[in-house]
Every structure is written in C-alpha cells, then in structure tokens.
Amino acid sequence: MKKKLVVLTGAGVSAESGISTFRTNNGLWDNHRVEDVASIEGWYRNPQLVLDFYNERRLQLGTVKPNAAHYALAELENEWDVTVITQNVDNLHERAGSTRIIHLHGELTKVRPENCYNDVDNYSEESVFDIGYDVVNLGDLAPNGAQLRPHIVWFGEAVPYINAAIDHVMDADVLLIVGTSLQVYPAAGLYAYAKADTPIYIIDPADVSVRDGRLTHIKDVATSGMETFKNILKSK
C-alpha cells in the first residue's frame, strides 16, 4: 500500500507559470480593492466589475501552462497516494496530471447561480457549470433563471471542503506545503491537524512564521524546491 502524501498549495506554485498572485503589499488585487472583487458585498454592489475581473483572470489562465512544480506533484502519484489541497482557483494541477485535488477556494473555470450559496449544505455540484475560458456577462442565466456568478469562495463565505481537507491532513504520512505564506484562514491552520509524528515540509522562498518541531523549511521557489523535496522522499 502506498503511503499518503498530502500537499497544500498556494499562489507561489502558479506564479512561476505567469499567473499573478494579485495581492500586493497595499492590500490591492491587481489594482482592485479585495472587498470590491472578492466579497459578496462587492458582487451585489457592482456585479459587472466582478464579472470583468474574473473574465480577465479566466482568459489569462487559458494562455499559461503548468510548470515543473505542477508536473512534479503529479508524478509523485507513481509512488505515493497523493492528495492535493489547493488554495488556487486555476486548473494547472489538473492539466499537469494530478488526479485527486480539493479546491478550497473554488474554480475559475466554473460558475454557478448567484442564489446557490457557497455553504457546506446549501448547494450541490449539480448547480456548478464548467465554462472553460469563456466570459460571463450580466444577463447570462443559469437554468433556474438566476444570474451566473464565479464559482469562487469569496471572503466571508464558507469553505465547503475544509472538513474533507482536514480529514486528509489527519491521515497524512507526509505533509507538504508549497507556495503559500499560511496567512489565509482556515487553510492556514490545516497543518496543525497533522499527526504528531507526521513530518511537515514547506517550500517557500520567504521566511516562515510557523514554529513547529515537525517542520522542515526548504527555502526555495516551487519548481526547484520540488526537486529538493523529491530527493528527500527517496530517502524515506
């Protein structure tokens, strides 16, 4: 039986594919206030702005490709039982070949009716539609007659798959964290659910604020850091 490797990925993985991390030191996302483009209040205030923002992100996604870090994670499935838990809303893990992916914050290539709330019990995947890299306009309606909105978990909304993610982390033989500063909760607290004897590796070029005796920091970008991590796994 393969050992279980759980991987938590963030924006730093996709940044090397050319996808902007959006957030800057002044709290803006691509020159927009977060509350204007990533909150339900922003949606009700100016849905056209929100649709335009995600339409641009979706079109950009269609122009980029997975990088070596995405492919390295997919290749690990040959030797490990791998589950990727990602904070990213792109589809680069899927395109690289990973087969077990939990999208904590939604998916950019999908939409759902605006009256299907992103809650653990209040919408089903049957309400979610894959539109690829197409744009969504005001007046584009779901079968139930409601306006389509991005299938994104906005700030203040429930994270529907957080409990599933916790279950996977609790079962992990090895936990890997790549490309996330562990600043956005609840995802940032996931590592704490790992068993006491589970080794935790974090790949990030920046200093890490987390203090945990189980943690090994590989201070590198995702692509080259994954090569270091694979060499560590070979010794296990």
208: CB partners within 8 A, 6+ apart:
182, 202, 215, 217
Q: Work out the number of other CB atoms within 10 angstroms of the CB of residue 208.
A: 14
- Of 105, 151, 168, 217, the active-site residue reads 105
Q: Which of 118, 105, 112 is nearest to 130 (CA)?
A: 112
Based on the residue annotation, tell me whether 151 is a catalytic residue of this protein: no
**Phi, psi dihedral angles at 81 (to 5 degrees):** -85, 100
Q: Where are the alpha helices (DSSP H) in the chain?
A: 11-15, 34-37, 40-45, 47-61, 68-75, 92-96, 162-171, 222-234
- Burial grade of 215 (CB within 10 A; 0-12, 13-18, 19 or more): middle
Is residue 118 within 8 Å of 38, Cβ to Cβ? no
The residues annotated with a catalytic role in the active site are: 105
